[in-house]
Amino acid sequence: MQFDPASTGFMLIASTLVMFMTPGLAFFYGGLVGRKNVLTIMFQSFASLCVTTVIWYLYGFSMCFSGSYGNGDILGIIGNFKESFLAGVNLMDPSTMNPQVPMFVQVAYQMMFAIITPALITGAFTNRVRFPAFLIFLVAWLTLVYFPLVHLIWGGGLLAVWGVKDFAGGLVVHVSAGFAALASVLFVGKRKVEDSGMHNLPFVALGTAILWFGWYGFNAGSEFAVNPVTTAAFINTDFAASFAGPTWLLLDWVFKRKPKFSGFLTGMVAGLACVTPAAGYITPASAVLIGILASIASYIAVTIKNNAGLDDALDVFGVHGVGGFLGTLLLGILGTAAVTFPGHDPSALASGIVDGNVGFFWKQFASDLLVAAYGFLFTLGMLWVINRITPVRVTEKEEVEGLDLIEHGEVAYL
């Protein structure tokens, strides 16, 4: 088998970029919390780097990508476990995503997605969850929620056969994590101790920069090749974030009378999350529209959350859940066959309402509802079970002391 060096090399770089997003998320979340809980929230992201890798090797990759609907998987929902421990995966095996790239590259690239997705959820229950409970949650959520969704949509499962599209993780990553975050907030409840809130805005800015940088690998890399669609995904990623940031800034300026840097950064991330499912299926003009709508929708969601008294500490649901949900819907409207090139696989296209394909929009809408409900309900049930194994929530006294000292015996600042 002769592999394409350009695509293989690019995908290794893209894998590295996506891996780098998880430390970026640690800085983003670390800056947003109070000084007594910085290490705890950052530790949770770094823990996912290693724990998820172990689970991915043991059975995660196999659950996601072994077999397909009607061809060896289990009910079109999960893989068949034949590639657990990467059994039978050899150096010269071609990827199922692109036969010109080795399977090992697919193993690595998709593993980086698995690492960051549960780490996103941690921003919702910051300052409140014990580390042992988090570790159990991490393994259980990957196994019962994330891996089945990957197989359903990217691994040849039921939703893939039905024609649902998700270019880089709007459904698989952002909707699943966002609605899992909402379930976590409802189960864990509000913080009993008022948190001082964001303690280091430069950390947040650094984290945003790393996330944006890594998102090029996240979105452009999801074409799994070097071709014109790769460049479309790249530029669409940039346009969405670049228009989303100033939109949130203007909203803050109008409603809070101040142009807030924190809002500017949050808007960028909302734009990135929203364009993710559509990045390789839309024109740059559509990416601009998605960026603007992403900030407006997420801003409204965060405002409603605050007024309702829900303690989604770092707005995971409002930014990622709402952003991913909206982006998946907008793909059903704005997806176009114009984003292609001679020889491109027609089955890879996503033609929405702009191409006269109303049916595709309803498939995207139905998949949004299904993934949101699946992520929410399984997470809620999972936390209920974990709480009977080990307490999920810390005590009020421990909240006062801060989780860095209580849980880990360390502090970020002397």
For 229, other C-beta atoms within 10 Å of its C-beta total: 23
- Tens of pLDDT, residue by residue over 106-144, are 999 999 999 999 999 999 999 999 999 999 999 999 999
Q: What percent helix, strand, coil does the chain show, rounded to 5? A: 70, 0, 30
On the CB side of 160, CA atoms within 13 Å amount to 23
Q: Is residue 232 part of a domain?
A: yes
DSSP 395: P
Q: Is residue 360 part of a domain?
A: yes
pTM above 0.95, yes or no: yes
Per-residue pLDDT at 94: 96
| Spatial CA neighbour of 140 closest among 51, 37, 248, 259 | 51
Average pLDDT over residues 330-340: 95
Q: Is residue 414 part of a domain?
A: no
Per-residue pLDDT at 221: 98
Q: Is residue 121 part of a domain?
A: yes
- Measure the CA–CA gap between 139 and 54, rounded to whole angstroms: 10
Higher pLDDT, 160 or 1: 160
Q: Looking at the predicted structure, is the pLDDT value of residue 35 above 90?
A: yes
Domain count, the chain: 1
Alpha helix positions (H), 102-146: 103-121, 131-141
Q: Is residue 246 part of a domain?
A: yes
CATH of residue 340's domain is 1.10.3430.10
What mean pLDDT, rounded, does the chain reach? 96
| Backbone phi and psi for residue 339, each to the nearest 5 degrees, phi listed first | -90, 75
Q: Is residue 413 part of a domain?
A: no
The region of weakest confidence among 90-104, 210-224, 344-358 is 344-358
Q: Looking at the predicted structure, is the pLDDT value of residue 17 above 90?
A: yes
Residue pair 297/326 in contact (Cβ under 8 Å)? The answer is yes
The SS3 assignment for 182 reads helix
- Tens of pLDDT, residue by residue over 271-293, are 999 999 999 999 999 999 999 99
- Tens of pLDDT, residue by residue over 188-217, are 999 988 777 899 999 999 999 999 999 999
Q: Is residue 186 part of a domain?
A: yes
Q: Is residue 20 part of a domain?
A: yes
Average pLDDT over residues 246-267: 97
Q: Looking at the predicted structure, is the pLDDT value of residue 1 above 70?
A: no
Average pLDDT over residues 51-68: 98
Domain range spanning residue 359? 5-408
User: Which residues make beta-bridge pairs with 74?
Assistant: 78
Reported as a pLDDT band with limits 50, 70 and 90, residue 346 is confident
- Buried b / exposed e over 274-295, threshold 16 CB at 10 Å, is bbbbbbbbbbeebbbbbbbbbb
Per-residue pLDDT at 168: 98
